Structure 1
Amino acid sequence: MNDLNTDVLVIGAGSGGLSVAYGASQMGADVTLLEGHRMGGDCLNFGCVPSKALLAAAKHAHAMRTGGAFGVAPVEPEIDYAAAKRHVHETIARIAPVDSQERFEGLGVRVIREMGRFTGERTVEAGDWRITARRIVIATGSSPLVPPIPGLVDVPYLTNETLFDLMERPDHLVIVGGGPIGMEMAQAHRRLGCRVTVIEGERAMGKDDPELAAVVLDAVRGEGVQIMEGVKAERVSGEAGAITVHTSGGDVTGTHLLMAVGRKANIERLNLDAAGIAHDRTVTVGDDLRTSNRHVYAVGDVAGRLQFTHVAGYHGATVLRPILFGLPAKARQHHIPWATYTDPELAQVGLTEAEARERHGDVEVLRFRFDENDRAIAERRTEGLIKVVVHRGKPVGAGIVGPHAGELIGVWALALANGMKVGDVAGMVAPYPTLGEVSKRAAGQYYVPRLFESELVKRAVRLVQRHLP
């Protein structure tokens, strides 16, 4: 066993872990990074990157079928599913060097390609190494949650960790789970020529504002995806090529089965009890992301908060302050945006309308529809709307469903992060014609009853007009 002392030990080389390793090493700390699987973590290899690459391929196929309104004769595309998957793998390969062992070693980080497990408050064993660190950051991420459905272990099934290695196009893909992963992959595979059925035990896209989610679900259904809501997957049977999911709403048989019901934190191998680290399904942390062991922090999915790559990166930046300088820092959540990259996209930051009414009671909801935006009209992408929830003149949440919603939500993430007033966005000048105008127009709705519908304002204007020279 080789003994090693280090300033900062990072367990996991996903978004959160790499953010900590990069920042700490560049500011002079001795950093050791453990990764027993793939550098870049779930996002690069199995999640955000490959899914968006596959969605991009699917958009090209969809465009060929839908050009009639623009004077472009629609045609049924010839789809090479394996080539689409090669595009996915090429995308991963192009991004991978940024997260690679070679790059981080070039930055001065000591990279050990082993899993780590705690053996004491500040000690971790990884392969042949016994590592003692002043501060330790757990950044082990999460894995697909596979529920104990009877019969599931006896049939071949896919998760996001295996889907992107499938090179033969499914004839009929059955997806259990109607959340972001399920809906993105449902639409992508439908556009790439597969029959698709989604089985959701509750409401599809149930964590999103129902009014906005309905726009997405109508669009996906309109493309031919069957979405079964409020039905439970009770049992699975069959074999490769003919897998049946027995549900409370009837049986569904497909050639392939994708399980997309959620995530579970990767804590099983860590031996957290040996370090006195409290945990349940995730590592227990405070707002400062510190665990019950004052030497140890947890970031990203394993910390049990919002499970997004950008959150892990934000957490990583947050813990650098106390780890490197001994200064306090807290991770907030109210300003964290998220997006589902269906077409149309759906993005949210802060509170939904229902959450805001429950928390604040007296709120205003500002709306502006894409069919009133000139750029959207020109591109025939008029489905969707923006909703901004305002309390005492400040936005407390915003949701957008429509083309490029994931890009457009950034204005409202900025507003919430900095405590801006709705008037700050209303005062923004957006170039014309852009989709970005929807944010300005939505913010402007706040002033319609206060200015254009106010008799007091109208009397004041008439009075001033009579006395102007």
Structure 2
Amino acid sequence: MNTYDLIVLGGGAGGLTVAAGAASLGANVALVEKNRNLGGDCLHFGCVPSKAFITSAKKVFEAKKSAETYGMTLSGKPDITKAMARVKEAIAEIQAEDSHERFQDLGVDIYQGKGRIIKEHHIQVEEETDIKGKRVVIATGSRPVIPPIQGIESTSYLTNETTFDVSKTPKRLLVIGGGPIGLELAQSFARFGSEVTILEGNSTIFGQEDEDVISVIKTQLEKELTFQLNARVKKVREENGTKVVTYEQSGYEENIVVDDILMATGRKPNTDDMGLDKIGVNLDDRGNIVVNDYLQTSKSHIYAIGDTNGKFPFTHAAGMEGKLVVRNALFGIKGKVSYENVPWVTYTDPQVFHLGLTEKEARENHHIKVFKVNTRDVDRFVTDRDLSGFIKVITDHKGHILGAHALGTNAGDWMQEIVFAKTQGHKIGDISNVIHPYPTHGAILQQSADLYWRGKLFDGMLPKVAEKYIQWFR
């Protein structure tokens, strides 16, 4: 039986971070992955393919818009198979970075197959190979949740795992679920010509976002998508090559006939059938592994990161957790995890950026100041004719950044400066002193910081003192 310093279960973003980091520091590492290729859901079914598809859809959309704006004639229909080919190309190129050979060259032993914990330090791979580890990291990711809808078991549908294999654009597409995955894919299909309806059980979309963001992004997306809110799907059936979906809304049942259904009803951690119950690893009622601030499970030598612990279901958060676990598991440094400075972006068009507290959350515990700048007041956005977005920065009374939110084209890119500022403990006013080339989108951050100084310098006693000094000074 081979014995390791660290065994990693799962070869996705978090697991690969742990395996590469630990091996580079001299640890003897085993990586167990059930699929043929490394990279996990993000590479093969999530972040990478969806962003490649979104980019293709945006090019189609901009081509149509440009033709209308500049009096050109655009002919033909977009071929979705071309977009899916680009998706596969992107996956293949990134897959090379996550190859078996690369990790083997780092000194990682790779075991292909499903890993199960048979004893506290023992992992069995496909009932054939047993390995032993001093420490174990569970990073097995998640999969789509399919709710128990009447008739769903006999009805074909898409998920994020099958969407990128479609060979034609559905004329009428129903998306069940209005979360980030559903919204991103819905808009992309709409731009390829689908008539898209979204059924969402809540009263709004983007429920975790700042209230100012919700109202604007909903209005923007309604130009391309049809929303049915407070809607609960009751049953589905296939009929003459189409799908008939019955849903309840405001006490009434409605039917909608579509050509395809995309299930975007959330994610479920891949923690079942791993033997966790046999050794006493605690799970919550959703199947998430319960961890402490050091990402340890109820068995201190076993750690859980990424979608398996249900804390912060983003690829970049899994990578951050993975780095922390390398320190904690190998060296016992006992660093605590913190999500305070971890942003997220929803890649609709326009993009929605989120960092820290919303205004409502901040007001509950802080005396706050809010600095808001609209894109129509920033020259670069004006030249781009991108006038419907904004930035909103929330600080305490001393200028410490509590939260930042933005809506706009590529907001996830031009908001990175404030992530750095918050992470490093800078105040909002510090950004005002950074020289931004003119004209750039990042100037919107500088203008928000200028608002801070304007209030600081010109609304207090300083103008009166300055006036007296100027009169005195010769």
Tell whether the structures are fold-level matches, with TM greater than 0.5: yes
Q: CA-atom RMSD, angstroms?
A: 1.5
Change beyond 3 A, Cα 1:408–1:309: same
Tell me how far 1:77 sits from its aligned partner: 5.1
- For residues 432 and 257 of structure 2, the distance between their equivalents in structure 1, rounded to whole angstroms, comes to 51
Q: Are residues 1:303 and 2:309 paired?
A: yes
Tell me how far 1:44 sits from its aligned partner: 0.2
Q: Are residues 1:34 and 2:32 paired?
A: yes
SS of equivalent to 1:406: helix
- For residues 77 and 5 of structure 1, the distance between their equivalents in structure 2, rounded to whole angstroms, comes to 60
Residue in 2 aligned with 1:376? 381
Matched-pair contact (CA < 8 Å) for 2:67–2:74: no
Matched-pair contact (CA < 8 Å) for 1:58–1:191: yes
Residue in 2 aligned with 1:129? 129
Q: Are residues 1:62 and 2:66 paired?
A: no
Counterpart residue type for residue 175 of structure 2: I
- For residues 34 and 239 of structure 1, the distance between their equivalents in structure 2, rounded to whole angstroms, comes to 43
1:297-446 correspondence to structure 2 within 5 Å? 297-360=303-366, 362-392=367-397, 393-446=399-452
Gaps of 5+ in 2: none
Stretches (4+) displaced over 4 A: none
Residue in 1 aligned with 2:2? 4
Residue in 1 aligned with 2:103? 104
- For residues 24 and 88 of structure 1, the distance between their equivalents in structure 2, rounded to whole angstroms, comes to 31
Change beyond 3 A, Cα 1:76–1:302: farther
SS of equivalent to 1:21: helix
SS of equivalent to 1:335: coil
- For residues 424 and 351 of structure 1, the distance between their equivalents in structure 2, rounded to whole angstroms, comes to 20
Gaps of 5+ in 1: none
- For residues 287 and 430 of structure 1, the distance between their equivalents in structure 2, rounded to whole angstroms, comes to 38
- For residues 253 and 76 of structure 1, the distance between their equivalents in structure 2, rounded to whole angstroms, comes to 29
- For residues 261 and 208 of structure 1, the distance between their equivalents in structure 2, rounded to whole angstroms, comes to 18
Counterpart residue type for residue 364 of structure 1: K
TM-score (norm. length: structure 1): 0.96
Tell me how far 1:408 sits from its aligned partner: 2.2
Question: Aligned residues, how many?
Answer: 464
Matched-pair contact (CA < 8 Å) for 1:114–1:126: yes
Tell me how far 1:51 sits from its aligned partner: 0.3
- For residues 41 and 215 of structure 2, the distance between their equivalents in structure 1, rounded to whole angstroms, comes to 29
- For residues 241 and 207 of structure 1, the distance between their equivalents in structure 2, rounded to whole angstroms, comes to 37
Q: Are residues 1:278 and 2:282 paired?
A: yes
SS of equivalent to 2:90: helix
Residue in 1 aligned with 2:19? 21
Residue in 2 aligned with 1:172? 172
Tell me how far 1:289 sits from its aligned partner: 0.3
Note the alpha carbon deviations across 1:180-208, whole angstroms, 9 max, x for none: 11111111011111111111111112222
Deviates more, 1:162-171 or 1:68-77: 68-77
- For residues 412 and 462 of structure 2, the distance between their equivalents in structure 1, rounded to whole angstroms, comes to 37
- For residues 87 and 313 of structure 2, the distance between their equivalents in structure 1, rounded to whole angstroms, comes to 23
SS of equivalent to 1:233: strand
- For residues 410 and 208 of structure 1, the distance between their equivalents in structure 2, rounded to whole angstroms, comes to 18
- For residues 240 and 158 of structure 1, the distance between their equivalents in structure 2, rounded to whole angstroms, comes to 18
SS of equivalent to 1:110: strand
- For residues 239 and 69 of structure 1, the distance between their equivalents in structure 2, rounded to whole angstroms, comes to 38
Matched-pair contact (CA < 8 Å) for 2:415–2:442: no
Q: Are residues 1:294 and 2:300 paired?
A: yes
Deviates more, 1:214-223 or 1:175-184: 214-223
Matched-pair contact (CA < 8 Å) for 1:243–1:253: yes
Matched-pair contact (CA < 8 Å) for 2:141–2:308: yes
Residue in 2 aligned with 1:228? 228
- For residues 194 and 240 of structure 1, the distance between their equivalents in structure 2, rounded to whole angstroms, comes to 19
Tell me how far 1:55 sits from its aligned partner: 0.5
Residue in 1 aligned with 2:263? 259
- For residues 227 and 338 of structure 1, the distance between their equivalents in structure 2, rounded to whole angstroms, comes to 23
Matched-pair contact (CA < 8 Å) for 1:155–1:239: no
Residue in 2 aligned with 1:145? 145
Note the alpha carbon deviations across 1:155-214, whole angstroms, 9 max, x for none: 101110111111221111100011111111111011111111111111112222232133
Matched-pair contact (CA < 8 Å) for 1:349–1:409: no
Counterpart residue type for residue 32 of structure 1: A
Tell me how far 1:69 sits from its aligned partner: 7.5
Percentage identity across paired residues of the two chains: 37
Note the alpha carbon deviations across 1:279-299, whole angstroms, 9 max, x for none: 122011011101111111111
TM-score (norm. length: structure 2): 0.95
Residue in 1 aligned with 2:473? 468
Q: Are residues 1:204 and 2:210 paired?
A: no
